[in-house]
Chains A and B, each alone.
Chain A
Amino acid sequence: MKKQTQPKFSFCHRTRREFLHTMGGGFTSLALTGMMAKDGFLKQQLHAADGQTAWQSPMQPRVGHLPVKAKHVIFLFMYGGPSHMDTFDYKPALYPLDGKTIDVKTFGRGGHKNQGRVVGPKWDFKPYGQTGKMVSSLFPNVAKHVDDIAFIHSMTADSPIHGSAMLMMNSGQILSGRPSLGSWVNYGLGTVNQNLPGYVVMLDQSGGPISGAKNWTSGYMPASYQGTVFRPKGTPILDLKNAHKMDVSEQQVLLKHLDHFNRGHLADRLDNSNLAARIASYELAYKMQSSAPEAVDVDGEPDHIKQLYGIDQDRTEDFGKKCLLARRLVERGVRFIQIYSGGAHNDQNWDAHGDLKKNHDFHAGNTDKPIAGLLEDLKQRGLLDETLIIWGGEFGRQPTAEYAEGTGRDHNAYGFTMWMAGGGVKGGVSVGQTDELGSQAVTDRFHVKHLHATVLSLMGLDPNDLTYFYAGLDQRLVGVEGAAPIHQIMA
């Protein structure tokens, strides 16, 4: 094993770092710059590249600052904004108010309002687990796992509008151009499996979320840290298969000769590590072609596992496959996996402006069994301890109706629920509260950045010390003021 320089997160050598971040050619090609700004590493890369020494990938695993509680994250993104008072945030006072117009301050897509017609919760709740946690009938299977889950009922975000709220949940800011959570994790930790991307995104069958790739962008970081879209059917990754049906044996011939040519070219330019890096990247690409399809091949899984995820049923087949695929990726060392429930627009995701009942029955029905299966499967394999599961959307919904008619609820960023389970998270815990209507968080209010701080901390990264130098300052996922993790849910 080659000697490795430990990553350095803290502020140091500022001007040097800016140079590393911005210089055009040379070293930046390894994309490690922010992490490895120590002179020793730099010189090593510039000097020791003799064409023989193994190339170091920008994604090589690194050690974080804190004890590692979770090695992987599976973020189950309920795009569109699931209603908290209809799922996990039990509001008994809301039922009898159904249809009544009350004074309540709301801010959603329809702007600021001071009054609204209450829509009573459309599902019944009942207690589950040792803690007697109240869960609605939308999630009967997930409910069986409440003793492994920590609920945060007092989430807040800066925007009740999808576009900016999605950016905030994924990248910490309502403004476009920032790296997403998965990029930060991979920037901080690298990935242990070089033959697979470290950051995988799986989209809903109906399409991507609004703003598309902005949700898994690496923003101002190098593109090496952006999410890679994985498809559970066909070829999992773009360009993994040859568009002209060139088969492996032909490709081997091609690569062999390419290597000859490239090594000849390198012979006079041994000092240029970029050339060696490029040669090495073909080897990795070649391996990726076999390791990625192997990873997504869920057909070989036994039937009882498929049933566990609901793959045997039409409704749950798609999301179930993605959850099972997520487990397989976790087993293969992928750091960060995000699965979208819901895509495109309106009722194709959790954005229930019209018929709440129809919308949430549909999306919860598609995902309840697969999510419960994922929790159970990870647990029985001993993987839940090292895998952090996050469930939630970009915001919640209002207790009141959006329109004069119907049961649809508008967006709500003043208070909503998210939950986490697994790696480093206490089970059977609920923190924070919304008011009795569920209209806003009132106790132990947490912001998206606290959620992000929790994820980073559990992964072994200090959220206040994980920085990336850009536009004249050390940027952090959690913002310039820093943020503390949510200790109440951390084991």
Chain B
Amino acid sequence: MKGVTLSCVTQYLPKAALVFLGFAMIYPGQTWFALSAPVVIQGDHEEHFRDAVLPVLSEHCLKCHGAEPKLRGGLSLVDREAMMRGGDSGPAVDLNEPSKSLLLSMVSYKDEDHEMPPNRGKLSSESIQALSDWIEKGLVIDSKAMSEAIEKIEGAGNLYDNSINEKTRQWWAFLPLQKPNLPAVGPNPWSEHPVDRLIEAKLSQASLLPNEPADRASWIRRAYYDLTGLPPSFADVEAFLQDSSKDAYEKVVDHLLASERYGEKWARHWLDLVRYAETNGYERDNPKPETWRYRDYVISSFNEDKPYDRFVREQIAGDELDTVTPETLIATGFHRLGIWDDEPVDADQAYYDGMDDVISTTGQAFMGLTIGCARCHEHKIDPIPHEDYYRMLAFFNNTFKNIREGQFKKSPYTLNTTRVIAPDKAVQKHDALRQALQEQTQQLEKQVEAYETRIVATFSKPEKEDARDDRTRRTMIRAKKEKVLTKAELQDLEGIEAELKALKERKLPSLDRALVIQENGPKPAKTHVLLRGNAHSLGQEVQPGFPAILGFDDPVIPSPTEGAQSSGRRRVFADWLVDSNNPLTARVIANRVWQFHFGRGICRTPSNFGQNGELPTHPELIDWLATYLMEHKWSLKRLHKHIMLSKAYQMSSQANPRALEQDPENNLFWRFDMRRLTAEEIRDSVIHLTGNLNLQMGGPSIYTPVPDEILATASRPDAAWGKSSPEQQNRRSVYVFMKRSLHEPVLKAFDMADTDSACAVRFTTTVPTQALTMLNSAFLNDQAQSFAARLEAFSSDSDQQIAEGIRLVTSRQPSESEIALGRGMLAELVQELKLTHSQALQRFALMLMNLNEFLYLD
């Protein structure tokens, strides 16, 4: 049988691939976790291992049978359990009958299909003997020597302890969250702010000094962009420069946190994490209904400073909370934002893809764990057993309607469920209106009937026979009515009929709906472990449970109350997420808040706090911020303010040769890192320069003009994109329609998040096509035109126009030499290239929009 590497894979092979390639093997499943602890062995056996065995393993075996991800055939030789567990061909050793061990048979080249090591010839007889003795003597391994050996082998991978034990429980992110002790303040303290004390302690250990504060103009620009995604006006800067009061910085922060622009900016960070998009992906990439309400929910949650714990609970289980409101229902749209294939090749597998989308996103976004890696087997690096994935899945396993193969055409996949969320009053009003209309209709119909009865009464007997047929009767009535009724009566009847028609044509205003989660009733489906992640290979049944490494008791799921529409399981999970003893949730969000102020997380892998994430540079600082957040009722605005009023946040971004030499990556936060604006900040700032940025909030998404070249890439170019009015096109980027197969080109050019999975950190690429967009695109040139018009309206003096342009782009006063440079540019364009002043000013405005100073923050 062909060897299969057992590596972590977040998306598993679909069934079809398993069948085609003969990979459909059954994994030995649960026996993994039942293995006993290693046996304690004497020293001389260890010596034999070090002297005789390890050299053989190092030279011939460990490159392929060491650690992930290079493991071949699923076999690792690094510890006893791994060897007894074996690989795809079965256990490597048999301690009861050592001579029958598969490992020995392979190295002896007994079976030509199973020769190890392959291709390089058989081991020497001494080497084989050493291995044989080793197994005979009970397979003793000196794990320290083994680790060292593995590290020396290039390409063999690092060793991770992924079992649940005392050591792995001590991993920083799994330890209980406690408020750290702050370092003592020295005689000449940099700052007494707790954040600064934690940072200074590390800097002084390295004999480094924190940078001087940035100048005020740089700081206020930094603060404005960080909190609102837009620059300060020149007047804002001037006012701040003049403000000598002690709380000048604090006033700016308070002002920005109170601005509704804050929610728009920070919602985008969240939307990246929850893979927000408004279409389903795949072939048709159809729109999801009402998705924008979720976006607005996130914006208003930030603006209201909704406690983060509530924010979490609403998204996971907004339909199961004590108080369910339209808002909490909209929040559950979180579950429905992912991609799904409406024409799946394997419906069962597609069902679990949908589940995986939610579990992986939940794991990364809320918990900072790559739980998705445990879908096919145990997590290869973190102590997350295979079973834990399915225990987590059991909390959610009642929320997707499965569809069988071939049914997709008949019954649309029901992931796009919507639900009425209009307030009760509106629903009552709606019902009342409908009833009133009904009554009115009935009344009118009675009047018509009365007239008709009179007419029918005049029918002869044979006519009455014919009139049994409805259609015929109506024709006959029409023909006779003028004879029977008076003119006035006729008029009356016509009036009534017209009124009826109008009534019937009247459409009731539709009630607001939202994309929500919906369970298949209070009784949850059974959940099984899926062997190798294969939806067709059921393992043992599991009950809902939390990751075992965190050491929580198994959850107790309350019995559903009468009339409950769901199992209540997600509520339990949500409550656990924000439990004060949960070590992850607060750390993860505190680290993210820091990340979007300082350009990087204290832990640089903000969605991976596991063992192959980066170690945090300042673990105590994460703990400080996390406890601060919880102590302040999970108020994110309090946390922002706490961070932003630190000296650390005030530092300049200037280089310092010594620090640069010693700590080029700024691990110790000796300075503030410069950052490029995000895609949304760039687009919004460009429009902002023209004075035309439309700050209208909320509602269905808008469409920017997209060049035909982009539309032509769609399989239905005409139907690929919508059209909004010019005013609507000038709205902020967070309101631009998010289509999975067609990304807004300007946002795409500047590294907007990919929408197919959770994005914790965006790329910041620098490529020539960005320069083409900034120089040549219709968007930039149109905006430059408007910007130039604004400058012309500001003043008729050329120098004044140049100065104002630089002020608007940089939020600072231009220097004389800069004005001279601008003057030179205009002169060259006008005098040598014969452009009009207005045309030249457009070029100048476009040049300003391309400045590094415009796109980069100090």
A: residues with CB less than 8 A from B are 10-12, 14-15, 18-19, 22-26, 28-31, 42-43, 46-47, 58, 111-112, 156, 158-164, 173-177, 197, 203, 207-214, 217, 219-220, 222-224, 228-229, 231, 237-244, 246, 249-251, 253-254, 257-258, 260-262, 264-266, 268-272, 274-275, 277-279, 281-282, 284-286, 288-289, 343-345, 413, 445, 447, 467, 471-474, 479-482
Contacts and interface: CB of A to CB of B under 8 A. Distances in A.
Interface stretch (B117-125, B249-257, B696-704, B757-765): B757-765
A265 B665 contact: no
Given A24-B675, A163-B341, A243-B778, A238 B745 contact: yes
Contacts of A279: 852
A213 B345 contact: no
A174 B345 contact: yes
Interface stretch (B475-483, B539-547, B735-743): B735-743
Contacts of B855: 278
Given A257-B824, A284-B771, A207 B21 contact: no
Interface string B808-830: 00000000001001101100110
A172 to B, nearest CB: 11
Interface residues of B, number: 129
Nearest to A174: B14
Contact of A177 (B344, B614, B754): B754
Interface string B595-634: 1000110001110101011110000000000000000000
B713 A208 contact: yes
Contacts of A209: 715
A239 B767 contact: no
Given A31-B763, A177-B757, A223-B763, A207 B769 contact: no
Contact of B157 (A11, A211, A229, A289): A11
A214 B282 CA distance: 9
Contacts of A163: 282-284, 341, 343
A11 B69 contact: yes
B765 A214 contact: no
B766 interface: yes
Contacts of A197: 769
B450 interface: no
B339 A211 contact: no
Interface string B769-785: 11111011110111011
Interface of B: 4-5, 7-11, 13-14, 16-17, 20-21, 23, 68-70, 154-158, 281-285, 339, 341, 343-345, 353, 360, 370, 372-373, 380-381, 405-406, 595, 599-600, 604-606, 608, 610, 612-615, 653-655, 660-661, 664-665, 673-676, 707, 709-710, 712-717, 720, 740-743, 745, 748-749, 751, 754, 756-757, 760-773, 775-778, 780-782, 784-785, 818, 821-822, 824-825, 828-829, 833, 835, 842-844, 846-847, 850-853, 855-856, 858
B88 to A, nearest CB: 10
Given A253-B843, A413-B16, 13 more contacts: A26-B764, A46-B660, A177-B756, A223-B767, A237-B772, A239-B773, A242-B781, A254-B847, A257-B821, A282-B771, A285-B769, A472-B373, A474-B69
Contacts of A480: 5, 7-9, 69
B825 to A, nearest CB: 4
Contacts of A112: 405-406
B776 A278 contact: no
22 contacts: A11-B70, A25-B674, A25-B676, A26-B764, A29-B763, A158-B17, A163-B282, A163-B283, A163-B284, A173-B11, A176-B740, A203-B713, A211-B281, A223-B749, A240-B776, A257-B825, A261-B852, A268-B654, A286-B771, A345-B716, A471-B757, A481-B4
B649 to A, nearest CB: 16
Given A243-B778, A288-B772, A260 B821 contact: yes
B20 A222 contact: no
A18 B608 contact: yes
A28 B372 CA distance: 25
B768 A281 contact: yes
Contacts of B10: 471-473
Which of A239, A277, A288, A413 is the most central at the interface, judged by chain B CB atoms within 10 Å of its CB? A239
Nearest to B771: A285
Contacts of B717: 207-208
A274 B856 contact: yes
A261 B853 contact: yes
Contacts of B373: 471-473
Contacts of A164: 282-283, 341, 343-345
B281 A176 contact: yes
A268 B610 CA distance: 39
Contacts of A254: 775, 825, 843, 846-847
Contacts of B655: 269-272
